[in-house]
Amino acid sequence: EPEVTQTPSHQVTQMGQEVILRCVPISNHLYFYWYRQILGQKVEFLVSFYNNEISEKSEIFDDQFSVERPDGSNFTLKIRSTKLEDSAMYFCASSDREDSYNEQFFGPGTRLTVL
Amino acid sequence: RKEVEQDPGPFNVPEGATVAFNCTYSNSASQSFFWYRQDCRKEPKLLMSVYSSGNEDGRFTAQLNRASQYISLLIRDSKLSDSATYLCVVTGFQKLVFGTGTRLLVSP
């Protein structure tokens, strides 16, 4: 069964450092998403991406964040200068349809720890 | 008012029990509704979509009341493997809006 994969599973970084979180969406999917979940809190939407453009982003997704699809398979989330409060689980998701009736498939997540 | 509200629980039930979770949402323009399941430190996984007519998948029954902006999930004959956090999810168009989740603990 096809699945979304994410690397690394755990990233530890110092405050102020740049991190890149990587995702490989399901191969025939065209819509990509990043969500985050701070420990003990709800899953929060960050950004959606289609046709090499951001289609929607939340207030959390400020200038410190960027997304890219550098090749035909990877989808990345970059945090330019990490803060302590960026520590969270980051989930990538993908779907093959634009509308929300279709399931978004989630990857296993990257746990980001900012020290 | 929170976009999606759920009782955080935990709900502690014995095996075989029937348990019900409720959820309310604030955005009347929400188009789609789901229940996701999340195991500890794992990704959310779709349990079932929720329709106004109600829908059933084995031991699980979901119901939507658009007028009251209320969603429910009923689990019959609880199994130990049902222990997890159940996330109520609504959408506008693309993004998913999650509730904080209701934790279920099923004991022998």
pLDDT one-digit tens code per residue, B44-58 = 999 999 988 889 999
Residue A84 has pLDDT above 60, yes or no: yes
pLDDT one-digit tens code per residue, B32-43 = 899 999 999 899
Binary contact (B94, A42; C-beta < 8 A)? no
Q: Min CA distance, B49 vs chain A (Å)?
A: 8
| A interface test, pick of B95, B100, B103 with most A CB neighbours within 10 Å | B95
Binary contact (A107, B45; C-beta < 8 A)? no
Q: Which residue has the higher pLDDT, A100 or B94?
A: B94
A5 touches chain B (CB under 8 A): no
Q: For residue A100, what pLDDT band results from cuts at 50, 70 and 90?
A: low
pLDDT one-digit tens code per residue, A42-72 = 999 999 999 899 999 999 999 999 999 988 7
As a whole number, mean pLDDT of residues A79-88 equals 97
Reference B7, options B69, B86, B62, B66; nearest CA is B86
d(CA B40, CA A97): 28
Whether the CB-CB separation of A11 and A80 falls below 8 Å is answered with no
What's the confidence (pLDDT) of residue B74? 97
Q: For residue A1, what pLDDT band results from cuts at 50, 70 and 90?
A: confident
d(CA A59, CA A36): 13
Provide the 3-class DSSP secondary structure of residue A84. helix
Residue spans of chain B under pLDDT 50? none
Paired residues of B61 in beta bridges: B56, B74
d(CA A60, CA A44): 9
The length of chain B is 108
Binary contact (A48, B95; C-beta < 8 A)? yes
What's the confidence (pLDDT) of residue A71? 87
Residue A103 has pLDDT above 90, yes or no: no
A42 touches chain B (CB under 8 A): yes
Which residue has 């119901």 as its token pair? B63
Binary contact (A106, B43; C-beta < 8 A)? yes
Q: Min CA distance, A22 vs chain B (Å)?
A: 16
Which residues of chain B neighbour A89 with C-beta distances below 8 Å? Answer: 41
Binary contact (A106, B44; C-beta < 8 A)? yes
What's the confidence (pLDDT) of residue A99? 64
**Residue B29: both structure tokens together:** 């323009």
